[in-house]
Amino acid sequence: MKREIRQRCGFGCVVCGLPLYEYEHMIEWSKTKRHVADEITLLCNLHHAEKTRGLLSVADVVRANENPKNLRSGDSAPYDLHFSGETCLVSMGSNQALHLFSQSLVANALVIDGFPVIKFEKIGDHLLLSLRIDGRDGKRILEIDNNELKYSIDSWDIELVGTSLTIRGGLRKILAEIKFDPAKGVTISRGIFARGDHLIRVEPDYLFDEKRNVRMSNAFVGGCPGWAFAF
């Protein structure tokens, strides 16, 4: 039922499209005493609170549910991630890279053909993450540009639970799996990073360069200025 609701609502708040949402009965459950997918929608915590307090009418929520923000735009509304600290750890398919910003303000975690496709940059007290995960058709699935998270709603299912974002192309078919730790870094368990004719696949236990047939697992890079796993 939850997946059906997510798909219908464009995987975000139907009013503003924010990917941080709560499931909400359009007519209060205390009145209906039932859980029916068509009567439940997605609202961010702000619009949920406004509805609860009567500042957002049920009629407005119903109208938004009939024409969700993300379905109109084709992408999620942007959400700003929050990272901070003097170090960051990037984990990809059992490989880890630890960076000290005292040595360099830019940390290139994954480089393909000389281009950093996963990068942390420290500006003032903030750490800014940039990355893009693609599908095999080359279309963007997930993109983070300087901490601004957006995803395409074309996927079969997108679920953000706590700090874990999972994007599926079908039942038990995970296209991307990423966990955010604002105090530490980011863990990527599944995904595809493409650049030119290179395609790097991330699986839970390894990185795989499909062009060169190279597999990497259990590698660790630490304390190197501008460190990177390079392909």
Those residues whose C-beta lies under 8 Å from the C-beta of residue 92, and which sit 6 or more positions away, are 109, 110, 118, 187, 188, 202, 207, 229
Domain boundaries, the chain: 2-73, 79-230
Terminal C-alpha separation, the chain: 42
Mutual angle of helices 58-66 and 45-53, in 10-degree steps:
140
What pTM was computed for the model? Answer: 0.85
Helix (H) or strand (E) holding 30: helix 29-32
pLDDT confidence of residue 31: 67
Rounded to whole angstroms, the Cα distance separating 96 from 50 reads 43
Residue 75 is given by DSSP the state: B
Of all residues in the chain, what percent carry a pLDDT higher than 90?
72
Least confident segment among 29-43, 119-133, 180-194, 209-223: 29-43
